[in-house]
Amino acid sequence: MGNPNVGKSVVFNRLSGLNVVSSNYAGTTINFSKTFVFLTKDKKVELIDVPGTYTLKPTNEAEKVAVEILKEGDVVLNVIDATNLERNLFLTMQLISFKKPLVVVLNMWDETKHKGINIDVKKISDILGVPVIPICALSGEGIKKLSLAIKDAAVSSYISESFEKLDNLFIWRKIGKIISDAQKLHYRHHNLWQRISDFSIHPIWGLFFALFTLYGSFKIIRFIGEGLIGYVFDPFFQNILTPLLMKLSALLGSGGFLHQILIGKLINGQIDYFQSFGVLTSGFYVPIAAVLPYVISFYFVLSVLEDSGYLPRLAVLVDSIFHKLGLHGYAIIPTLLGFGCNVPGILATRILEDKRQRFVVSTLISIAVPCVAMQAMILNVLGKYGFKYVISVYGVLFIVWIVIGLILSKFKKGDTPELFIEIPPYRFPSFKVLSKKLYFRVKGFLLEALPIVLGGILVVNLLYSLNIFQYIADFTAPVITILMGLPKNAVIAIIMGFLRKDIAMGMLLTNPMTLKQLFISTIVLSMTFPCIATFVVLWKELGWKKTVYSILIMSLTAVFVGSILHLIL
């Protein structure tokens, strides 16, 4: 346990060899993870990674989880940011009053040295009467010692009062005693990081910095993504797989039921990986060659932003704008995560204090934040006609995001708590942590996406041959054709968006469409009801009533915006 952003998850990963996502901002861990670890050869214990909390009097969901888990634990590993000893000890004192065996872990030990902080570890250990272990979790220094020290965990008698009787002033006095005995400071001011930090939260320069960073991020994502597609994935499919698949196609007689399912439709006698729509053609090409490269590049950039410590600064900068939507600046973090995948985005809304904000942010993410798979397809498909169409999609979604945000803040009134967060120092992202995080996010994408895409295409082809889609298309034709000016079969793609938005986008292409129709249907597809994974997580996080409400808002907005675009374009 420990304060937010002290590196509990990194310690957890080190001790367990597991890979829980860690970042450089408060609130990365919103639920607990647990695992069994061997401390020594024959000693096996269950280790629980707990969300960060400043106090045992919880103020948000994640902190409530932390307090609940504390009640179950037998030994508490209290992870402390050694560069912020005084503040971190507040929780330590509260933990001591719970009378559980304790080990104090002084993390970020390496940073104390160049920040001019001198801590007498032995003295703290003597005062508290518990093991105190300095470590550097990022590099792994001290972890071995820590795992050996767990068995020595002791109940401290430094504070004898029970938790209920503790008074803050008393705690600070007790902490003051430790600090004056065991810590000496020789601050060194203003290094380069500090200067960048001041610059990036400056109300005016900071905004330029933010625009520049976001623009740069987008450029890098496209550069890496397009590079991977152009030089690696697409050549692989075209040069190696296409000849094989064409042979198979000939073998199957270039048509028939099995051909339709495996290869799909031949376009001018050739396989077209976007339009053929067979399990072996589009089924593999869409997730692997069209989407995966962007998943890699997006998560690379996002991970760098996360680990550097920039995101909380961005939250501070956008706070006054976000308040107009009844949200506070921290809502930018779930929103940015949502651009990767809506699921972690919606889960991350737990760092917001109240239910109203969580509903609003979750709904806004589902409507106006396309996930990376969807964005990759937008780039692949609309990008062909010109980049301005891609930008226009983002523009429309951004306007929708603001308008729906304003409307929701009028209808769902509530007092938005003000921003009150710790800003972590900038850190140079650790290559090891970064590559591990990237690896697990990419693996997660493949495990989740591939089966659904392959299965989805199979089902689509079966349903096609059963003509079921025809009934649906005829039934919804008035809305789709008259209001939004789309071919009536576009509805099938939109319905398939419930499975995954990237296959749905691929399906749109199987209909002959004008550029205008493609543009409108892309936007409608992004906004309308969420994919199944997002749906499940909305349900779990908001409850069924609010989920239904949220989906109604999405569908109505989609139809409304689709119709408006049809009128004005």
By beta-carbon proximity to another protein, the closer residue of 210 and 228 is: 210
Indicate the residue type of 331.
A
Taking the CA of residue 267 as centre, how many other CA atoms within 13 Å lie in the half-sphere pointing to its CB? 14
What the block records as the tokens of 489 is: 């079969």
> Cβ of residue 184: shortest distance to another protein, in angstroms?
13
* Position 87 contacts another protein (CB under 8 A): yes
Tell me phi and psi for residue 104, to 5 degrees.
-95, 125
**Residue 396: CB atoms within 10 Å:** 20
DSSP structure string for 230-264: IIIIHHIIIIIIHHHHHHHHHHTTT-SHHHHHHTB
By beta-carbon proximity to another protein, the closer residue of 63 and 541 is: 63
How many chain residues are in contact with another protein, going by CB under 8 A?
40
Query: SS3 string of 347-412?
Result: HHHHHCCCHHHHHHHHHHHHHHCCCHHHHHHHHHHHHHHCHHHHHHHHHHHHHHHHHHHHHHHHHC
By beta-carbon proximity to another protein, the closer residue of 100 and 313 is: 313
By beta-carbon proximity to another protein, the closer residue of 145 and 202 is: 202
> Cβ of residue 94: shortest distance to another protein, in angstroms?
10
What the block records as the tokens of 353 is: 């204090």
Most distant CA atoms of the chain, gap in Å = 85
By beta-carbon proximity to another protein, the closer residue of 185 and 468 is: 185
What the block records as the tokens of 370 is: 């396309």
> Cβ of residue 327: shortest distance to another protein, in angstroms?
12
Burial 235-259 (b: 16+ CB within 10 A, else e): eebeeebbeebbebbeebeeeeeeb
Indicate the residue type of 376.
A
> Cβ of residue 286: shortest distance to another protein, in angstroms?
42
Among 31, 40, 46, 57, binds another protein (CB under 8 A): 57
Interacting stretch for another protein, rule CB under 8 A, among 54-62, 142-150, 490-498, 547-555?
Answer: 54-62
Among 12, 25, 54, 300, binds another protein (CB under 8 A): 54
What the block records as the tokens of 122 is: 């032995």
Q: Site map for another protein, 522-541, x if CB under 8 A?
A: --------------------
Query: By CB under 8 A, what part of segment 409-448 binds another protein?
Result: 417-423, 425
Query: Which stretches within 150-191 are classed as H helix?
Result: 168-182
Among 90, 273, 285, 359, binds another protein (CB under 8 A): 90
Among 17, 203, 253, 256, binds another protein (CB under 8 A): 203
* Position 474 contacts another protein (CB under 8 A): no
Torsion of CA 368, 373, 377, 383, to 10 degrees: 70
C-alpha span between 299 and 259 (Å, rounded):
36
Gap between the terminal Cα atoms of the chain? 56
What the block records as the tokens of 486 is: 């789309």
Q: Site map for another protein, 95-134, x if CB under 8 A?
A: --------------------x-x-----------------
* Position 402 contacts another protein (CB under 8 A): no
Among 38, 44, 46, 59, binds another protein (CB under 8 A): 59
Residue 341 near residue 371 (C-beta atoms within 8 A): yes
| Residues contacting 421, CB < 8 A, separation 6+ | 26, 312, 315, 316, 330
By beta-carbon proximity to another protein, the closer residue of 419 and 564 is: 419
Residue 44 near residue 36 (C-beta atoms within 8 A): yes
Interacting stretch for another protein, rule CB under 8 A, among 36-44, 323-331, 446-454, 543-551?
Answer: 323-331
Among 75, 154, 196, 201, binds another protein (CB under 8 A): 201
Pairing relation of β-strands 33-40 and 76-81?
A: unpaired
> Cβ of residue 426: shortest distance to another protein, in angstroms?
11
> Cβ of residue 104: shortest distance to another protein, in angstroms?
18
By beta-carbon proximity to another protein, the closer residue of 55 and 476 is: 55
* Position 196 contacts another protein (CB under 8 A): no
* Position 319 contacts another protein (CB under 8 A): yes
Q: Site map for another protein, 131-170, x if CB under 8 A?
A: -------------------------------------x--
Residue 370 near residue 339 (C-beta atoms within 8 A): yes
Query: By CB under 8 A, what part of segment 218-277 binds another protein?
Result: none
C-alpha span between 473 and 246 (Å, rounded):
32
- By CB under 8 A, name the binding residues for another protein: 54-55, 57, 59, 83-84, 86-87, 90, 115, 117, 168, 172, 185, 187, 197-198, 201-204, 206-207, 312, 315-317, 319-320, 323, 328-329, 417-423, 425
